Amino acid sequence: MPSVEGLPARRAALQMLDAVLRRGLTLDAAAGQSRGLAPNDQGLAIAIAGEALRRLPDLDDWIDSATRNRLPDDSKARMVLRLALAQKVGLGTPEHALVATALPLVDGGPRRLVHGVLGTLLRKGLPQSDAPRLPDAVELRWRTAWGDEAVEAARRQIATRPALDLSFADDAAAKAFADEHDGKSLAPHHVRLASSSVTELPGFEGGGWWVQDLAASIPARLIPPEARDVLDLCAAPGGKTMQLAAAGHTVTALDSAQSRLARLRENLDRTGLQAELVAADALGWKPKRHYDAILLDAPCSATGTFRRHPEVLYRARPSIIRENAALQAKLIRRAAGFLKPGGTLVYSVCSLEHEEGEEIVAAFLNDHPGFSIEPAMELPAGIPVSPEGWVRILPGMLDAEGGLDGFFVARLVRVPD
């Protein structure tokens, strides 16, 4: 059979989509499994699978409108149709190319059905949407928790590529870089650029900056400058460790995942910043001393990162959110025991679920009367502090500037003895 141009990328995209939706992998992990693919094909496959994940509910509705019997969710025919339609609406792929690359993926299977559904939908025309629906369960959860506006903003955000945020060790260097590269600084040490390839940006090897969403830079901004000895618990791959080290703190960075700590080590080497690294489970680790300040950036569902990782919306099932919350409740209590009297504990999660944010901190304060909230004042302009004193970043905030990842951050202070 003659080879079809672009087929390897589509085959890889099919494997990726299947690995994410049926096996619960992240898109990065799924992409890591497609070895031997040319870099261009790899990039195209990730773009196609990512586009399908950004628009899945809409794609499924269109597919269902053109079939008499509903195709099973994880059937190959549905997966192939999702990928083909995602290319049409998200990537502008010409129709002949998407049909020619879809049909060989179902060779020996429902080729006629896929051909028929594609033909019907392409003839009818697909509505162009710049605000695709999120999965029903997520929309329901977020509408209840955060309201209609946040859901509408999240729909708009999932359709667009977020800007690229850089954190700089040196604030003057950030300002100079912003001037030189048409960037915008929304906070000290920060530059926002229209998206581009990270390794091609000037200064990457020199290590003056690292990629970090502006929202993700907020927790380390809340560590008091005068805190000397700072523990970064759950530290890898180290965006916040680098901020803390650049701010002049003596940093101990702990993480339980060796492979992620290796990335933290590489990041420190590249940026020339210093931290003591500890590979340990925070729940079993016994520190030799107490700390002036602790940053606990806890493992979570990561639903706040849906703009770059749309698959989180499918991976974060309620049972996973509950499991995360149980771990977070243990971690915050454990961290509190490592703090000096008068010390500061910053708790954060890149999650849009209040079970992992507000509820964790409220329950902790309820049974730790020796701790209180210290409202965050050092925030980038336009980010509000909640009446409780914590920071809840929602879709829609700083929209005019390009938005932010969803985050929750609270600063707690241990009452001095």
**Active site members:** 350
CB atoms within 10 A of CB 309: 19
Q: Counting contacts by CB under 6 A, is residue 90 touching ligand SAM?
A: no
Q: Counting contacts by CB under 6 A, is residue 257 touching ligand SAM?
A: yes
Q: Counting contacts by CB under 6 A, is residue 237 touching ligand SAM?
A: yes
Distance between CA atoms of 332 and 43, rounded to whole angstroms?
A: 39
Q: Counting contacts by CB under 6 A, is residue 234 touching ligand SAM?
A: yes
Distance between CA atoms of 401 and 384, rounded to whole angstroms?
A: 15
Beta bridge partners of residue 345, listed in sequence order: 294, 412
Beta bridge partners of residue 231, listed in sequence order: 252, 294
Report the nearest approach of ligand SAM to the CB of residue 304 (Å): 10
Report the nearest approach of ligand SAM to the CB of residue 118 (Å): 40
Q: Which region, judged by CB under 6 A, interacts with ligand SAM, from 23-31, 236-244, 310-318, 373-381?
A: 236-244
Question: Which member of 255, 311, 355, 405 binds ligand SAM (CB under 6 A)?
Answer: 255
CA 141, 317, 44, 204 torsion-angle sign: positive
Distance between CA atoms of 17 and 184, rounded to whole angstroms?
A: 35
- Residue with tokens 């964790």, as numbered in its chain: 360
Of 58 and 297, nearer to ligand SAM (C-beta) is 297
Total of residues contacting ligand SAM (CB under 6 A): 17
CB atoms within 10 A of CB 377: 8
Q: Which region, judged by CB under 6 A, interacts with ligand SAM, from 33-41, 46-54, 255-263, 369-377?
A: 255-263
List alpha helices for 24-110, DSSP H: 27-32, 39-54, 56-65, 76-86, 95-102
Report the nearest approach of ligand SAM to the CB of residue 321 (Å): 15
Question: Which member of 151, 282, 345, 360 binds ligand SAM (CB under 6 A)?
Answer: 282
- Residue with tokens 């909640």, as numbered in its chain: 386
In sequence order, which residues have a C-beta less than 8 Å from that of residue 224 and are 6 or more positions away?
292, 293, 344
Of 41 and 255, nearer to ligand SAM (C-beta) is 255
Question: Which member of 71, 236, 352, 360 binds ligand SAM (CB under 6 A)?
Answer: 236
Report the nearest approach of ligand SAM to the CB of residue 55 (Å): 27
Q: Counting contacts by CB under 6 A, is residue 283 touching ligand SAM?
A: yes
Question: Which member of 181, 260, 333, 368 binds ligand SAM (CB under 6 A)?
Answer: 260
Of 105 and 251, nearer to ligand SAM (C-beta) is 251
Beta bridge partners of residue 210, listed in sequence order: 167
Question: Which member of 133, 221, 240, 354 binds ligand SAM (CB under 6 A)?
Answer: 240
Q: Counting contacts by CB under 6 A, is residue 166 touching ligand SAM?
A: no
Of 137 and 326, nearer to ligand SAM (C-beta) is 326
Residue 351's nearest CA partner among 145, 53, 190 is 145
For residues 191 and 178, is the Cβ–Cβ distance under 8 A?
yes
Q: Counting contacts by CB under 6 A, is residue 238 touching ligand SAM?
A: yes
The DSSP code sequence of 338-393 is TEEEEEEEEEEES-S-TTTTHHHHHHHHHH-TTEEE-----PPTT-PPPTTS-EEE
For residues 351 and 325, is the Cβ–Cβ distance under 8 A?
no
Q: Which region, judged by CB under 6 A, interacts with ligand SAM, from 61-69, 222-230, 233-241, 368-376?
A: 233-241
Report the nearest approach of ligand SAM to the CB of residue 19 (Å): 21
Question: Which member of 104, 256, 362, 368 binds ligand SAM (CB under 6 A)?
Answer: 256
Of 51 and 297, nearer to ligand SAM (C-beta) is 297
Q: Counting contacts by CB under 6 A, is residue 52 touching ligand SAM?
A: no
Q: Measured between alpha carbons, how far apart are the two ends of the chain, in Å?
A: 79
Q: Counting contacts by CB under 6 A, is residue 325 touching ligand SAM?
A: no
Distance between CA atoms of 131 and 141, rounded to whole angstroms?
A: 18
Distance between CA atoms of 49 and 16, rounded to whole angstroms?
A: 7
Report the nearest approach of ligand SAM to the CB of residue 218 (Å): 11
Of 81 and 233, nearer to ligand SAM (C-beta) is 233
Q: Counting contacts by CB under 6 A, is residue 299 touching ligand SAM?
A: yes
Which residues of the shown chain bind ligand SAM in the complex (CB under 6 A)?
Answer: 234-240, 254-257, 260, 281-283, 297, 299
